[in-house]
Amino acid sequence: MKEDQIKEILLESIHKKTGWGNPLKPFCECEDLYIQNITENSDGKLIVDFRYIFDEDGWSQYDKTHVFDGHVTIDNVNVIELEMDNIHVGVAAIVKYNPKEI
């Protein structure tokens, strides 16, 4: 599976879990997804480590970012497990992270 396909599957799952960014509000919200490591285990499942950054307002002079480190297990195109740790919340962030089931 190509990295672009992994990113597409992962972003869809992240949007469902956070409730944010689907779609992004034009001219203010922005997001970045960094794939840090991809490992294939013996049964063909992919384990992907990632960092996801969501900015509530990219134009604000105040920090409204949310940064997550996590990993996902993908079997073919299905997400089996998605874990995300919220490692940073900007001092001016308004939106609270309330994880949803995916």
pLDDT in tens, 13-64: 999 999 999 999 998 999 999 999 999 999 999 999 999 999 999 999 999 9
> What secondary structure, in 3-state letters, does the chain show?
CCHHHHHHHHHHHHHHHHCCCCCCCCCCCEEEEEEEEEEECCCCCEEEEEEEEEECCCCCCCCCEEEEEEEEEEECCEEEEEEEEEEEECCCCCCCCCCCCC
Q: 102 falls in which pLDDT band (50, 70, 90)? A: confident
pLDDT at 66 over 90: yes
What are the sequence ranges of the domains in the chain? 3-89
Q: 1 falls in which pLDDT band (50, 70, 90)? A: confident
